[in-house]
Amino acid sequence: MPPDVNAPAAAVDAEVEAAVALLRAGRVDEAERALKAVLARAPAQARALHNLGVIALQRGELDSARDLIERSLAHAPDHVGYLGNLIALHRAAERHDDVILACRRLLALEPEHVDALIALGNALLESGEPALARVRFEWALRLDPAAGEAHNGLGAVAMCERHHAQALEHFERAAGMLPDQPLIRCNLGDAWLALGRHREAIAPYREAVRLAPDLIRAVSALGHALVESGQPEEAMALLERAVAAEPEVAEHWFRLGLARQRLWQHAAALQAFERCIAADDTRNDLLSAILFSLHYMPEVEQATIADWSRRFGQRMLRDVTPCTAHANDPDPERCLCIGYLSGDFREHAVLHFVRPLLRHHDRGAFEVHCFSTCEAADAFTDEARGLADVWHAAWHMSDDELADHVRGLGIDLLIDLSGHCQHQRLGVLARKPAPVQITWLGYFDTTGLPTVDWIIADAILIPPAEEQWYTEKPLRLPHGHLCLDPMIEPIAVTPPPASVDGHVTFGCFNNLAKINPDVIALWAQILHRLPHARLLLKNGMLNDAATVDRMQCAFENAGVAAERLLLEGSSPRRAYYAAYARVDIALDPFPYCGGTTTLQALWMGVPVLTLAGTQGMIRRFGESILSTVGLDDWIARDADAYVDKALRFAADLPALARLRAELRQRMMNSPAG
């Protein structure tokens, strides 16, 4: 039947109103039939067109919805409500440029439309314009201080600009205003994670999963927060669910691999890491994190790590052009500008070694710049800032911006202190902003980047036969490559606790990720041979009851009763050092040896027994440190020697007491002190 162009407007409007009432009542199919009947008689009826478009939008039929809503606007171009739904349509289709155009069209009609301002801010943010987005969110909040979505948007802008503490504040305010929004809870968890506060991230992620059980982003992130908080068992089910739901998302596979690695499922962890890279080979941050994790796995050969490292370097340089011409003044008599690039200018293991270096630099020969790539700060950050000639808060800069900044300052020598650790900025080193670049300290292996010229080591850490595994040239210092600052006022060294307790207490204060089944089996042999001995493990991961249970079960499976274990969580710095008074002999884990913990134990008079590795820097770390301090007899060349030495040293308490009394001074007189 041809359209009835003479249909009375009042009658058509009444039919549309009745159809809309059906739609509001949830009788969608009836409403659709009624609206189509209206359009058969009055094809230009804007409200009928628009509501059919709304039905199509609700059904996810985005192309049909767009056609109908745009046709409705052709007949009613100034209808704010129709424009609002057009914005919603473009957002659903992730057409950010179209969202921006529709928002500006609406705001031209109604400049103080808060929802349009927020939608425009979100679209600008997605289009890579965070500064412009911020203006819209702030404008929306001036108009409506209770606009939680605007706070959420400002939090997203702050995350984009690496202002994580600021982001946390906005997300917390948004969550308070909109408590039932799972995405806001998820954003709040992301901010906690970005600040390295994994335990605090768990609660908002749990709430997001409760509100939206099918929100896989939240499921995966909750799993990751649990893993990083020492609860990999609970995390496994969540992460397996995430990879099953979204196998194309690389981050889910990485997180699953990390959980498996923490549960000593190393072969399965490697499979997950491979799936991660297969899913997305552009995520250099994930490949970097995988590289760090590989060092905890006894089965992984150094050649494999070197191969993964080169893969990282190749991917990193695929989209980066290193600088090949630097404008630095070649005058050999001038003061050199040296830059330290690190995310750990704070209470962190790295600062134990950087702090004395910054203090004792020859200011006549060097101008010292520190580039801090982590927002977190404390009293030690303030001290490091005071020790630098020039301090640069660089955590909010992109790799391009920071590389340009370094180059513009004329830095002659850029020293990376992070490698593949958290807050690393290897993307800056890939751009080669300084003519000479060195890596040292935070990560003890190759970066995989040919743009890094040197890696600081010693003859033990990188023997000539292993240079093939490094993209850098080894810069071997003659007497070890670390010098400890305890970062605390001296605590008196006590006599060996065995002289009072009547039994030897072994100890290890390392990250529990270093304690694998091979380590437990070897330590169990020692405890079997010394039935009255105890083992004290102390680490922040033992704040978690599930982790304590898992560690006790692992030792019980090796024949060591739970009552022979002393499992303690974290302590303030002074109490942490004081806990060494309860340790007679420290046991070094393997293949990932202790570094800072080894030197801290020696400073407290506690000798450390290490197993010399056969390949890779981190596997020879204990050997390097003990050789530097003159404790070569405490270096075991194989597992049998490790057990034999532990028994021999434990049996001679007078010798242990003599060594304990002199060890701090002996260490401080060595290059390590």
CATH code of 363's domain: 3.40.50.11380
User: Cβ distance 191 to 155 under 8 Å?
Assistant: yes
Q: Which residues pair with 369 in a beta bridge?
A: 339, 390
Q: Cβ(18)–Cβ(50) under 8 Å?
A: no
pLDDT exceeds cutoff 90 at 226: yes
In contact, 498 and 475? CB cutoff 8 Å:
no
What percentage of the chain has pLDDT greater than the value 90?
Answer: 74
pLDDT the model gives residue 581:
97
Q: Which 8-state DSSP code applies to residue 493?
A: P
Half-sphere exposure (Cβ direction) of 478: Cα atoms closer than 13 Å: 1
Note whether residue 189 is domain-resident.
no
Residues 428 and 544 in one domain: no
pTM for the predicted model, two decimal places:
0.81
- Given 421, 446, 476, the domain boundary residue is 476
3-state secondary structure 49-84: HHHHHHHHHHCCCHHHHHHHHHHHHHHCCCCHHHHH
Q: What is the pLDDT of residues 264-273, one digit of tens each?
A: 898 899 999 9
Q: Which pLDDT belongs to residue 6? A: 47
Strands 454-457 and 473-476: parallel
CA–CA distances in Å: residue 185 to residues 29, 179, 191, 246, 652: 35, 8, 10, 21, 58
Same domain, 470 and 503: no
pLDDT higher than threshold 70 for residue 514: yes
Cβ pair 425, 316 in contact under 8 A = no
What pLDDT is attached to residue 283?
A: 87
Task: Determine which of 38-47, 349-358, 531-540 has the lowest per-residue pLDDT on average.
Answer: 38-47
Mention every residue, 6+ apart, whose C-beta is less than 8 A from residue 485: 351, 352, 353, 355, 356
Residues 465 and 549 in one domain: no
Q: Is residue 505 part of a domain?
A: yes
Residues 648 and 553 occupy one common structural domain: yes
What is the distance, to the nearest Å, from the Cα of residue 644 to the centroid of all Cα atoms in its chain?
A: 40
Structural domain of residue 612, as residue ranges?
498-668
At 22, is the pLDDT very low, low, confident or very high (cuts 50, 70, 90)?
confident
Whether the predicted pLDDT of 163 surpasses 80:
yes
- The CATH number covering residue 521 comes to 3.40.50.2000
Lowest mean pLDDT among 89-98, 148-157, 305-314, 485-494: 89-98
Give pLDDT, residue 7: 53
Average predicted confidence (pLDDT) for the chain: 93
| HEC readout, 203-264 | HHHHHHHHHCCCCHHHHHHHHHHHHHCCCHHHHHHHHHHHHHHCCCCHHHHHHHHHHHHHCC
Query: What mean pLDDT do residues 592-605 have?
Result: 96
Lowest-pLDDT range of 34-43, 177-186, 450-459, 559-568: 34-43
Element (H, E) at 340: strand 336-342
512 and 646 inside one domain? yes
Q: For residue 520, give the nearest of 509, 504, 530, 535 by alpha carbon.
A: 535
Residue at 646 is within a domain: yes
**Considering the domain boundaries, does residue 575 fall inside one?**
yes
Instruction: Enumerate residues 6+ apart whose C-beta is below 8 A from 425.
Output: 341, 343, 373, 394, 399, 402, 416, 418
Q: Which of these, 487, 411, 483, lies nearest to 441 by C-alpha position?
A: 483
Q: For the segment 44-64, what is each residue's pLDDT rounded down to a tens digit?
A: 888 888 788 888 888 888 888
507 domain residue, yes or no? yes
Domain shared by 597 and 639, yes or no:
yes
Query: What is the average pLDDT across 193-220?
Result: 96
The letter for the amino acid at 103 is C
Q: At what angle do helices 28-41 and 46-58 cross, to 10 degrees?
A: 150
SS3 359: helix
Residues 468 and 569 in one domain: no
Q: What is the per-residue pLDDT for 327?
A: 92
Token pair recorded at residue 378: 């404390």
Instruction: Quote the tokens at residue 141.
Output: 């909040």
Do residues 412 and 531 share a domain?
A: no
Top pLDDT among 86 and 445 is at 445
Taking the C-alpha atoms of residue 32 and residue 52, their distance in angstroms, rounded to an integer, is 6
Please report the pLDDT score of residue 29 as a whole number: 87
Question: 443, 476, 509: which is the final residue of a domain?
Answer: 476
Same domain as 391, residue 351: yes
How far apart, in whole angstroms, are the C-alpha atoms of residue 135 and residue 151? 12
Q: Residue 554 contacts by C-beta under 8 Å, 6 or more apart in sequence?
A: 517, 520
- Summarised one tens digit per residue, pLDDT across range 291-319 is 999 999 998 999 999 999 999 999 999 88
Look up residue 446 and give its amino acid.
T
The span from the CA of 526 to the CA of 505, in Å, is 11
Please report, as a single letter, which amino acid is at residue 598.
T
Q: Are residues 457 and 503 in the same domain?
A: no
**Co-location of 518 and 652 in the same domain:** yes
Angle (CA) 149-153-159 rounded to 5° is: 140
Question: Average pLDDT for residues 228-253, to the nearest whole number?
Answer: 95
Domain count, the chain: 2
The domain boundary, picked from 476, 507, 539, lies at 476
Q: Angle, to 10 degrees, between the axis of helix 148-160 and the axis of helix 114-126?
A: 20
CA–CA distance, 211 with 186 (Å, rounded to integer): 11
- Same domain for 527 and 655? yes
Please report whether residue 152 resides in a domain. no
Residue 52 falls inside a structural domain: no
Burial of 29 (0-12, 13-18, 19+ CB in 10 A): exposed
Q: Using 50, 70 and 90 to split pLDDT, how confident is the model at 8?
A: low
Residue 202 lies in a domain: no
User: 363 is written with which tokens?
Assistant: 């200011």
> pLDDT-based confidence at 429, cuts 50/70/90?
very high
Q: Determine the Cα–Cα distance for residues 204 and 235; give it in Å rounded to an integer.
A: 15
Given 3-state DSSP classes, what are the helix, strand and coil percentages for the chain, each rounded to the nearest 5?
Answer: 60, 10, 35
**pLDDT tops 80 at residue 12:** no
Whether the Cβ atoms of residue 449 and residue 291 lie closer than 8 Å to each other = no
CB 205 within 8 A of CB 215: no
